[in-house]
Structure 1
């Protein structure tokens, strides 16, 4: 399948720069695969749509987004560096994405700084620094961490929420403030409690404690997975065909209790509503049969779901998901759902654009039933 089949045009005005307030006030486009009907509702309407029933299971990703965006300076030149922490290879070596003017070189040192402000644009460097050891391509670097403060503690003190570049660009174009204190809370779900992601599982951002309580009263069981969102989720497809795309690895854990509920729901004839493509990637990466798994299932996954791949959905009966970027692996995953396909997905996106839904991480959602 050619990657350009995942392209579409989105007017810039439909890129959401702020989340809905409250969270469940986001609009919800309900797409019925069996009849082709499309309903235009809101996320808060989910319990009353008639698509969920007592005994159904909802799976959501409980990962918490790290304040992974940081600023630094090149110690040799004092040039400004914008960085994104990706992962720790071990206690001393990290992977980061770096953006700066000029060419970075192995052996170079960059020192962390506090976020710059208009009144103090040139911040004093921190004692912690990185020694660049190897370029991994595409702006990614392996680096040796030079500092006594643990990296999570350092990031919590000087880091910022890693809002996607398109949000920051759109805010700047609209003369809106950049990253704010509100983003610390709103770029995480209300059930996020396992730190490790560098991007939010955005479909989960729409849930409030009140909405979760209403679903529970309806008899909907809720269980969690953890998939730490990294490059595998948000890197675009740059190859000409999807078969050629090399997806990055992401860490996941499915608790034993979630495994047991998945099995019981299947046995009882219930259905599973999966919240977000990261949750899909976690549960669809499970080995078969799941009843043979002892304890929590922990693994890394390179699962890439796209139309035409040798893959069969096993657990995803319904999907709640945001509207995704063109040429993204997430768009491909949604198109691969039974009864969807790329043509139907394009028609749904055209419908959403015509009705001026808000797109991407802070945008509205669609429910595929």
Structure 2
């Protein structure tokens, strides 16, 4: 697959910089894979497109505070996003031997582990802990968001474990009240955790898309979630993934047993790269946002709904002024 197939032109004015004032007010584009029909609605009216017994599976990971601005001893600054207590992605010029200072810490750059993105191993004194990051760091935001954002706006209302470098943004549309109202209608909710990291948001830079390297990400599927998914598959009720990270966790954990696919509970890692031609095993419908060009996320959506249908949907979204990316509008693919 050539990378050009994942390209499209987006007016900068359609890149959402802030969330809407009220959750549920975002627009919702409903794309029907069987008929090719496209319907325009509001996310608050999601219930109109769900039926009793549908299962929503959501990623409850929380974005961790891990971004720190450090000063170089030689002058200038560099932005560090910590993957662990001594491994960081650097935005700015950095090389082994550089001395950095931030808060009460001094760090020496020991080794460059990777070129793109630039990842370094640091020796930090005193040793940096997760508690220190909670105190001194900020949550990282996507580079296309230019202004200040309230940290709470970049967390889902059901976020639990702080372990992600980015939010599972399809879930940002839900309020607690909305989820409660759906449950009253017989819509079931279940949770898993996938630690959103480089595997999700690193852009594709290889001309041949299949040559792109997916970084692995940790995930955990509780026994209760596996039970609910397997019951729905047996009853031929829909399993609806909220977000592409949820899709990748569910599809990775699928196992073939007794002539059908079942979801296996437990903890694992995934580097699953879903491209057109992939045969989905668990997911029947998908709630997602509008994605960046040249992204693994867009490739996944192509795989799920068909390249031509999604390109048609994106053209229509741009024409009608839909808001794109993390704080943008939503799409339901059925």
What TM-score, normalized to structure 1?
A: 0.85
**Alignment: residue pair count:** 332
Q: CA RMSD in A?
A: 2.0
| Residue 212 of structure 2, aligned match among 239, 245, 248 | 245
Query: What corresponds to 1:117 in structure 2?
Result: none
**Distance (whole Å) between structure 2 residues aligned to residue 112 and residue 237 of structure 1:** 32
Query: What corresponds to 2:91 in structure 1?
Result: 99
Question: Partner of 2:20: helix, strand, or coil?
Answer: coil
Change (3 A) 1:83 1:285: same
| Residue 73 of structure 1, aligned match among 65, 71, 74 | 71
Contact 2:230 2:262 in 1 (8 A): no
Contact 1:255 1:295 in 2 (8 A): no
Query: What corresponds to 1:30 in structure 2?
Result: 30
Change (3 A) 1:39 1:294: closer
Q: Deviations over 1:311-361 (max 9, x none)?
A: 320111110000000010000000001xx2212111100010111000001
State the Cα distance separating 1:148 from its structure 2 match. 4.2
Provide structure 2 residue ranges, at least 5 long, that are not aligned to the other structure: none
| Residue 287 of structure 2, aligned match among 303, 320, 334 | 320
**Distance (whole Å) between structure 2 residues aligned to residue 257 and residue 328 of structure 1:** 32
**Distance (whole Å) between structure 2 residues aligned to residue 319 and residue 294 of structure 1:** 17
Contact 2:254 2:264 in 1 (8 A): no
State the Cα distance separating 1:130 from its structure 2 match. 4.9
Question: Partner of 1:22: helix, strand, or coil?
Answer: coil
Q: Deviations over 1:283-331 (max 9, x none)?
A: 01114147999984111111000114xx320111110000000010000
Query: What corresponds to 1:214 in structure 2?
Result: 181
Contact 2:33 2:333 in 1 (8 A): yes
Q: Deviations over 1:235-290 (max 9, x none)?
A: 11100111111111111111111111111111122111110000001101114147
Question: Partner of 1:258: helix, strand, or coil?
Answer: helix
**Distance (whole Å) between structure 1 residues aligned to residue 262 and residue 110 of structure 2:** 40
Query: What corresponds to 1:63 in structure 2?
Result: 61
Query: What corresponds to 2:144 in structure 1?
Result: 166
What TM-score, normalized to structure 2?
A: 0.94
State the Cα distance separating 1:78 from its structure 2 match. 3.0
State the Cα distance separating 1:145 from its structure 2 match. 4.3
